[in-house]
Amino acid sequence: MGIKNRVALVTGSASGIGKQTALRLAENGAKIVINDIVPEKVEQTVAEFKKAGHEAIGHVADITKKASVEGMIKAAVDAFGSIDILVNNAGMEKAGALRKLTEADWDITLNVNLKGAFLCCQAAHNYMVEKNHGRIVNIASRAWLGGAGQAPYSSAKSGMVGLTRTVALELGRKNVTSNCIAPGLIETPLWYELPEKNRNFLLSKQPTGRLGNVDDIANAVMFLADDDAGFITGQVLYICGGRSLFSG
Ligand SMILES: NC(=O)c1ccc[n+]([C@@H]2O[C@H](COP(=O)([O-])OP(=O)(O)OC[C@H]3O[C@@H](n4cnc5c(N)ncnc54)[C@H](O)[C@@H]3O)[C@@H](O)[C@H]2O)c1
């Protein structure tokens, strides 16, 4: 049945995985709300989408602020009539050894990755329940399994898995699904900021011997956002080239 004319909001979608995901949803006929915290990037992304013939609006909001999130969901509904697909993608990481991390590192990482997703789910809740339709896709990370130097990030992404499962249980009878994608190493500009030695080490641990790309994630979101995916809920889908098969 697809997603034609469904309304999709992708947080943090002026860059990377979120942008490609929003594009894939738009290419399949969804009306798109581009969100990010950086106004110029939102403006530019919306202009690109419109130029390509897609229906899109932009909404600058910090997803860690409840009032901003509520305003964003309302703006989506005011513009397009509903909110059908919510992709909680915005994220960031403060990494470091446990003993060196600061309280501020912990707070910002938990706030953006976890609290932001919670606030968005909460704000979309009534609209989805009223319409008896919703598809929530949370972008966690394979690192939710644990990662040395990743205490705040891994904890936040673990929390997203718990949030995903809980929302699935609470809203299952309202035809609102809630699933999680756990990407592994994805080729983004951030990857090339790592020293070559680190990149080679990480690549050597990939069972498939390669990085993922933004399309690998966008395609999976499309699959879970589809009207036909209504019997899939509460799941974690790893897109990590097999890296979740072993620890260390
Ligand atoms: N790139 C990877 O290898 C990888 C691997 C696993 C998981 N992920 C997850 O995928 C998601 C996207 O990652 P990416 O690599 O595309 O990152 P990215 O930095 O390219 O994009 C993230 C976007 O989120 C926005 N953002 C940050 N804080 C925000 C806030 N408070 N409110 C609104 N927007 C905010 C940023 O401005 C940015 O545009 C993240 O949740 C990340 O944790 C990425």
**Structure-token pair, residue 7:** 């309304």
Q: Is 198 a member of any domain?
A: yes
Ramachandran class of 234: left when φ > 0, alpha when ψ lies in -120 to 50, beta otherwise:
left
Q: Is 136 a member of any domain?
A: yes
State the total domains in the chain: 1
Q: Is 192 a catalytic residue?
A: no
Task: Find the domain containing 96 and state its range.
Answer: 7-238
- The residues pairing with 86 across neighbouring beta strands, listed in sequence order, are 9, 136
**Considering only CA atoms, which residue is closest to atom 4 of ligand 1?**
186
Alpha carbon distance, N-terminus to C-terminus of the chain: 41
Q: 23-53 pLDDT, tens per residue?
A: 999 999 999 999 999 999 999 999 999 999 9
Q: Is 113 a member of any domain?
A: yes
| Buried b or exposed e, range 156-166, using 16+ CB within 10 angstroms | bbbbbbebbbe
Q: Is 59 a member of any domain?
A: yes
Q: Which of 127, 153, 192, 238 is catalytic?
A: 153
H or E element: which one contains 66? helix 66-80
CATH number at residue 173: 3.40.50.720
Q: Is 158 a member of any domain?
A: yes
Q: 106-153 pLDDT, tens per residue?
A: 999 999 999 999 999 999 999 999 999 999 999 999 999 999 999 999
Q: Is 243 a member of any domain?
A: no
- Measured in residues, the chain has a length of 248
For 111, which DSSP code? Answer: I
Ligand 1 centroid, distance to 18 Cα (angstroms): 7
